[in-house]
Amino acid sequence: MKYTEDHEWLRPEGDLVVVGITEHASEQLGDVVFVELPDTGKAVSAGDEICVIESVKAASDIRAPLDGEIVEVNQDIADNPGLVNEDPTGRAWFFKMKLSDPSKLDGLMDEAAYKDLIG
């Protein structure tokens, strides 16, 4: 898996990449009560705000980690936002995307670098 400074994880899956938030981010948010997912087929650029997460503490945006197209969303977390707290790096993925340039994954952090970031 790869990680962003915005506490997202990316897991390559064939020619797609699955994106979610890290356990650290889920813990910082507290109990998640609402998730708004992007539309499938939407072209996004790195840094675009594409999801909204609301918790008992705050509302946060999920930004596109890289350029690409949203090809699938996880309706389970929209129907049951608590999954984000229960299994943030498993069943609670947010979306799958087809990257414009898959080699850009190489520029993201590995697990050791991410652990250094969160201390």
Cα of first residue to Cα of last residue in the chain, in angstroms, is 18
pLDDT of residue 10: 97
pLDDT of residue 58: 87
Domain coordinates of the chain in residue numbers? 2-99
| pTM for this model (two decimals) | 0.94
pLDDT of residue 16: 96
Q: What percent of the chain has pLDDT over 70?
A: 100
115/78 Cα distance (integer angstroms) = 28
Residue segments in the chain with a per-residue pLDDT below the cut of 50:
none
Q: Find out whether 17 and 99 touch, Cβ atoms under 8 Å.
A: yes
Q: Do the bridges between strand 2-3 and strand 8-13 make them parallel or antiparallel, or are there none, so unpaired?
A: antiparallel
Q: How far is CA 100 from the centre of its chain?
A: 17
* CATH number 2.40.50.100 is the correct assignment for the domain at 2-99: yes
| Cα–Cα nearest to 114, from 42, 61, 65 | 65
| Cα–Cα nearest to 73, from 27, 36, 23 | 36
